[in-house]
Amino acid sequence: MKISEIFYEKNAAGKPVVSFEVFPPKTDSGTQTIYQTVSGLIKQPDFISVTYRGDSGDKTSEIAENIKRQMGTEVLHHLTAAGLTLSELTNILSELTNARIENILALRGDAASLSGDFPLAKDLIKAVKSDGHFNVAGACYPEGHVSSPLDTENLDHLRQKAESGADFFISQLFFDNAQFFRMNEAAKDAGISQPISAGVMPIMSVANVERLIFFGASIPTRLIKIINKYKDSPEDLRQAGLEYAFHQLDDLIAHGVDGVHVYTMNRASVANAVMKRYL
């Protein structure tokens, strides 16, 4: 099923789309963790996205196909433009079509690896869309992409992705809902009508926070105080981080967002806590 159809049906009923993200680990045992996470869900999300490493050991397609076939849950297969040639893309799309995968999140990927045929995400979006078989999602950035932090550039890039054929968008994670609301309103005012799902990640550890800062996510004072208070108690920090995410999600849903996309870090406990509350 095309994910844009899920957005249409849920939003028409006054409900947000609720989705999760998992990532392919580098080990076979880690891969089993993903299947345990998905099979252990108390309810099914509207879709599950599977991230893409793009190396020789990447298991994105295998994991996405297994989740869809075995669990019956719709999947969103990530794909990066970095280093990708037209010939390689043609082969990948053929494989995904044969696997009955209908949804792709088209991303630029690592700027240092931009030696392929698709310099920017919008170029990959256009190429995948022209294949005719896929719903295509794009990424958006409530605080601006780390390489183009200006609001005008951020909105212009979002508009170009929409014009290239993106069917919906998923935002980079953020911890201040005002950032998302500002971007979402600016997008709508600019005539971007595609659904935009808000990306939320519960803080699970201090190391988790350090990685997130690298991706350009600012940490509000309230969250900094929570992290400092529980930094020496991992279990309390995980619980407090989840409660902060719930506060974000409650507020987003109350404001009528198109969808919420939860970065689960392959944790069934995070996914199920969200399920109990919102599905």
Q: Give whole-number Cα distances, 265 to 6, 136, 208, 218, in Å.
A: 24, 23, 10, 19
- For residue 171, the cross-strand partners are 140
Look-up of token digits 């951020």: 154
Domains within the chain, CATH numbers bracketed: 3-278 (3.20.20.220)
Return the pLDDT at 39: 82
Return the pLDDT at 208: 80
Read off the pLDDT band of 147 (50, 70, 90).
low
At 68-102, the pLDDT tens digits run: 988 889 999 999 998 899 999 999 999 999 999 99
Mean pLDDT (the chain) is 90
Return the pLDDT at 56: 47
Sequence-distant (≥ 6) Cβ neighbours of residue 159 within 8 angstroms:
190, 191, 192
Q: Which of 173, 180, 166 is nearest to 120 (CA)?
A: 166
Annotated catalytic residues are 21
Average pLDDT over residues 224-253: 95
Pairwise CA distance, residues 252 & 98, whole Å: 37
